[in-house]
Amino acid sequence: MTVAIIPDKLLRNQEILGLNYQAASDRFDESWRAPLSILLGLGRAAGADFVEFFLERSQYISCLAEDDAITSISPRLVTGGGVRVFVEKADCYVSTNDLSFNGLKAAMEKGLAIMGLTLPGPAAHIPEINLELLRDYASIRGKDLWLGACSSMQEMGEVLLSANAAIARKASHVQSRRAAYFRDWQEVLVAASDGTFARDIRLTQSVGCNLLCADGEHRSSIGQRLGDTSNPGFLRTWDYATTAEEVADSAGKMLYADYVESGTYPIIMANHFGGVIFHEACGHLLETTQIERGTTPFLDKKGQKIAHESLTAWDEGRSGDAFGTLDMDDEGMPTQRTLLIENGILKNFLSDRAGALRTGHPRTGSGRRQDYTYAAASRMRNTYIAPGDASVDDLFASVDRGIYCKKMGGGSVGATGQFNFGVDEAYLIENGKITKPLKGATLIGEAKEIMQRISMCSNDISLAPGFCGSISGSIYVTVGQPHIKVDAITVGGR
């Protein structure tokens, strides 16, 4: 590879067109410093207050097994980049799949034009941006070797078919069995006019299965999914026999369960994926994108009580191999832990660069995006309710008649926190004991009310992988919590 040498004197705009930049095409490394520093300087010389480039290479593959056959293998290769241009508090984003010097320059020119700016004249001097030494998280942690160590397509198929076979051995009244796996490998480079110059590799994998059982008019559907962000051998270590046994057991119990009666109940919500309600109904309301729109009820509540004093909640990117764990966000900021709520008091919001500029809330390493076609926005990472001092037995003992929500399903959330979520696996609680299975339950409420009713948290926190859609696309996140007690919530049923 050849890299252009930047002359000691300042370049004139007319000289830039004659430079021959040939940065590495198979990886993002130091060879990208020269072209990006010049482009960033060109954008600043045009009058932009801030310019940022985000470059991406990714390889994705998914595999689906239905019953005893592989029915789908879907690969996807992506290469592209985007440039964000800020003028005061306004910004725009332009993406391209042309990562040549002229391709990135053309994308930036479009962004500048949208913001009412034009490139300086041919005789104008263009100072290059002095980028920091490359912060290469991929090299530091040996991530360049990850992709080659992942499971082959043959392995994928063998494991998924073995999982479906295990389900068939464990379950009865089976109507369909599905096992699915995906691997998403992504290399990113961020360069910005504040000197940011950082590279990372992400490897996100997920595997799970779903079982549908039917007996006459009786139906049940149960699924389970696991996720990982740092283990190339993740699929090889999946204990699919245990997953099959758990899914078969839950589906069998729900198949003949009674339908729940509508009403208001105290509930105990299980740990693990139970945290999806906090993520959806409250977490999104603490992102600065919601503050900018004025749609969060917590807009001016920082430092005030917004939840029961038993509730403390975090968002962070450091929990081992959890689904939302990152070494840096998509704006090149190192990840960190952010205390959202402490003993019911709102402490912080989640903020990206634009959010910090427009709302005054400091950046939290939360600028995330699905891929290069999206501008980064304030998004969650690993978001969970912290463990409390109670035991699970204490929670159940406090309920005379209520519902145990063991496994949450899908749902929807309104812009200001109104939600409804289905419960895939539920049980009646009577006198502190689980008595019988229930199905058809839907939890209905509003974030600002429910947060005040989470009166007890156990000490058995567990995290679960999830997928989150918002303004910057679909991203990988973690939800989680210990077992919690909600004193009263509306439950829809029959």
Q: Please choose, from the candidates 233, 270, 308, 235, the residue with its C-alpha nearest in 3D space to the C-alpha of residue 484.
A: 270
Q: Please choose, from the candidates 356, 318, 367, 342, the residue with its C-alpha nearest in 3D space to the C-alpha of residue 478.
A: 318
Residue 391 phi/psi, 5° resolution? -95, 165
Give the model confidence (pLDDT) of 54-111 as tens digits.
999 999 999 999 999 999 999 999 999 999 999 999 999 999 999 999 999 999 999 9
Q: Determine what percent of the chain is predicted with pLDDT higher than 70.
A: 96
How sure is the predictor about 17, in pLDDT bands with cuts at 50, 70 and 90? Answer: low
How sure is the predictor about 411, in pLDDT bands with cuts at 50, 70 and 90? Answer: confident
pLDDT for the residue numbered 5: 38
Q: Which residue has the tokens 């019953």?
A: 67
All domains of the chain in start order, with CATH: 11-61+76-135 (no CATH), 143-257 (3.30.2290.10), 263-492 (no CATH)
How sure is the predictor about 13, in pLDDT bands with cuts at 50, 70 and 90? Answer: low
Encoded tokens for 409: 């399903």
In angstroms, the CA 24 to CA 31 distance is 6
pTM summary value: 0.94
Identify residue 383 by its one-letter amino acid code.
Answer: T
- Of the listed ranges 5-9, 67-71, 136-140, 363-367, the one predicted with least confidence: 5-9
Distant-in-sequence contacts of 175-178, Cβ < 8 A, 24+ apart: 175/212, 175/213, 175/214, 176/66, 176/67, 176/211, 176/212, 177/66, 177/67, 177/209, 177/210, 177/211, 177/212, 178/64, 178/65, 178/66, 178/209, 178/210, 178/211
Instruction: Report the SS3 class of residue 145.
Output: helix
Encoded tokens for 474: 């679909």
- Given a cut of 80, whether residue 255 has pLDDT beyond it is yes
Residue 33 phi/psi, 5° resolution? -60, -50
pLDDT for the residue numbered 19: 66
- Given a cut of 90, whether residue 282 has pLDDT beyond it is yes
pLDDT for the residue numbered 11: 67
How sure is the predictor about 1, in pLDDT bands with cuts at 50, 70 and 90? Answer: very low
- Given a cut of 90, whether residue 3 has pLDDT beyond it is no
Give the model confidence (pLDDT) of 116-131 as tens digits.
999 988 888 888 899 9
Residue 74 phi/psi, 5° resolution? -125, 105
User: What is the rounded average pLDDT for all residues in the chain?
Assistant: 94
Computed over its alpha carbons, how large is the radius of gyration of the chain? 25
Per the CB < 8 A criterion, the answer to whether 204 and 163 are in contact is no
How sure is the predictor about 415, in pLDDT bands with cuts at 50, 70 and 90? Answer: confident
Give the model confidence (pLDDT) of 288-303 as tens digits.
999 999 999 999 999 9
**What region does 270 belong to: left with phi over 0, alpha with psi -120 to 50, or beta?**
beta
Mean pLDDT in residue range 332-352? 98
